[in-house]
Amino acid sequence: MRAAPVPAETIALRALAFLAASPDDLTRFMNASGADPADLRERAAEPEFLAAVLDFLLTDDALLTAFCESETLEPRAIHLARRELPGG
């Protein structure tokens, strides 16, 4: 029996939490996206912001691999989640 797919928003929120656990990675995300700490709190539920989180993750193979390993997900799941969010 296969597990139900994880919703795209859930994957992106987990990715944001993963980034938040690493100050260097979080800083790189904020610099790349133009977000500040207030944005992280205020916009975390916005599909467009979550898309930016996944976009950032997908630009760094090592970071993507580390996230996938921590969440027991295949990289394909991240690509599919990104396609479900705005701009995908």
Q: What is the mean pLDDT of the chain?
A: 92
Task: Report domain extents, the chain.
Answer: 8-84
Query: How does residue 4 score in pLDDT terms, banded at 50, 70 and 90?
Result: low
Other residues' Cβ atoms within 10 Å of the Cβ of residue 2: 4
pLDDT digits 0-9 by tens, 37-55 = 998 989 999 999 999 999 9
Other residues' Cβ atoms within 10 Å of the Cβ of residue 16: 22
**Has residue 2 got a pLDDT over 70?**
no
Q: What is the 3-state secondary structure (H, E, C) of the chain?
A: CCCCCCCHHHHHHHHHHHHHCCHHHHHHHHHHHCCCHHHHHHHCCCHHHHHHHHHHHHCCHHHHHHHHHHHCCCHHHHHHHHHHCCCC
